[in-house]
Amino acid sequence: MRIEAEEYRTIWFENNVVKIIDQTKLPHQFIIKDLKIVKDAINAIKTMEVRGAPLIGATAAYGLVLAIIENNEQSFLKKSADDLMSSRPTAINLKWAVDRMMNKLSGLNSDKIFETALNEAKDICEEDIKFCENIGLNGLKIIEEFYNKKKDTINILTHCNAGWLATINWGTATSPIYHAHKKGIPIHVWVDETRPRNQGANLTSFELNEEGIKNTIIADNTGGILMQSGEVDMCIVGTDRTLANGDVCNKVGTYLKALAAHDNKIPFYVALPSSTIDWNIKDHKDIPIEERNSEELSHMEGLDEKGNIKKIQIYPKKSKAMNLAFDITPAKYVTGLITEKGVCDASTEGLKKLFK
């Protein structure tokens, strides 16, 4: 997708270095950063220079390529895989990508290991792009149905950033939106600000602007009244981990939007590639929910009058704050899962029909 009319992916490999767009600086500064050693990849995931479930997975895959460049002994590779795996707990794509890489690399001869790792990391990225494109084409059919009835602008509400910045290209929740826009369907997106890190305001709105898609940032609590007043036609969100029974774990606040959508009979879709499905955990209570530093709540970053990024404290110094990063939307509130293979019910039966 585009930034200032130039096509980018979120991650790529060049001259033995992994290149990323530093998302902690967007939308104010556009910085391409080099990851040179595996620790850089771990740090980029932890500090959220890269974030979003599929992109975290791709960064971990490339992190293992960097580990091999540093030291191609199996013991170092195994330790790097473990460190990458524990860099963020909730998005299942991280484990999925590290397992996929290690299945290819464990016990492999040192003369073949670099090329094999690089090819697999590249395949993970290419596959994600294809899957996200297909999610877009499948989601487009839903938007087209709405448009054929309404014949007017379709208002879509989204939470957090499940856009191209969270994947390699296209995004998950945004892919149907980009496809509809390309087909000439008028779209307007309500973008939840997504406190505390403001991925909606800083990233989703930014990338929609760059693609020329109308959007309005709203405070996280505004979705309810907009739904009550008929201003939302449908919701589409992403997910960090979806269980085989259709329960959806996504950025904190997703659940409250799903409840409001249910109460107002507004369709609530979740877009995901199959790499985000956790086929093993049966009960959502077993999903590790990340608790991040409370400073993300008590402090805010923005541009000062000189155009420099500045961090300020907004809470009373003595106040305690708690920062859970994800929540669970039970399957019963999800209208459908938009996957690379088609749209299905958020249920074991629905997912089984698509994924044998």
Distance from C-alpha of 92 to C-alpha of 146, rounded to nearest angstrom: 32
Three-state DSSP class for residue 38: helix
Distance from C-alpha of 3 to C-alpha of 177, rounded to nearest angstrom: 17
Per CB under 6 A, the list member of 49, 52, 180, 277 interacting with ligand MRU is: 52
Which of 343, 337, 355, 143 lies closest to 241 in space, CA to CA? Answer: 337
Q: Are 344 and 350 in contact (CB under 8 A)?
A: yes
Query: Dmax over Cα atoms in the chain, in whole Å?
Result: 63
250 forms part of the interface with ligand MRU (CB under 6 A): yes
Interface characters, 315-334, with ligand MRU (x: CB under 6 A) = ----------x---------
Angle (CA) 283 48 78, round 5°? 70
Residue 155 or 204 having the CB closest to ligand MRU: 204
- Report the nearest approach of ligand MRU to the CB of residue 54 (Å): 6
Nearest-CB residue for ligand MRU = 238
State residue 188 phi and psi, 5-degree precision: -130, 135
Distance from C-alpha of 271 to C-alpha of 137, rounded to nearest angstrom: 11
227 forms part of the interface with ligand MRU (CB under 6 A): no
Distance from C-alpha of 261 to C-alpha of 207, rounded to nearest angstrom: 25
136 forms part of the interface with ligand MRU (CB under 6 A): no
Query: Quick one: which segment of 11-19, 176-184, 236-244, 298-306 binds ligand MRU (CB under 6 A)?
Result: 236-244
- Report the nearest approach of ligand MRU to the CB of residue 111 (Å): 36
Query: Quick one: which segment of 3-11, 49-57, 103-111, 183-191 binds ligand MRU (CB under 6 A)?
Result: 49-57
- Catalytic residue set: 240
Kindly give, in sequence order, each residue whose CB lies less than 8 Å from that of residue 20, ignoring residues fewer than 6 positions away: 10, 11, 32, 33, 35, 44, 49, 50, 59
Per CB under 6 A, the list member of 10, 80, 138, 239 interacting with ligand MRU is: 239
1 forms part of the interface with ligand MRU (CB under 6 A): no
95 forms part of the interface with ligand MRU (CB under 6 A): no
Per CB under 6 A, the list member of 100, 181, 251, 257 interacting with ligand MRU is: 251
DSSP label at 291? Answer: B
> Is residue 242 exposed (0-12), middle (13-18) or buried (19+ Cβ within 10 Å)?
buried
Query: Quick one: which segment of 111-119, 178-186, 206-214, 233-241 binds ligand MRU (CB under 6 A)?
Result: 233-241
Residue 329 gets the label, from left (phi > 0), alpha (psi -120 to 50) or beta, of: beta
- Report the nearest approach of ligand MRU to the CB of residue 77 (Å): 25
223 forms part of the interface with ligand MRU (CB under 6 A): no
Count of residues touching ligand MRU (by CB under 6 A): 17
Per CB under 6 A, the list member of 193, 240, 247, 340 interacting with ligand MRU is: 240
Per CB under 6 A, the list member of 57, 63, 200, 238 interacting with ligand MRU is: 238
DSSP label at 192? Answer: E
Beta bridge partners of 310: 302
Per CB under 6 A, the list member of 10, 51, 117, 139 interacting with ligand MRU is: 51
Query: Quick one: which segment of 63-71, 78-86, 161-169, 218-226 binds ligand MRU (CB under 6 A)?
Result: 161-169
Query: Footprint of ligand MRU on this chain (CB under 6 A)?
Result: 51-54, 91, 160, 162, 166-167, 172, 199, 238-240, 250-251, 325
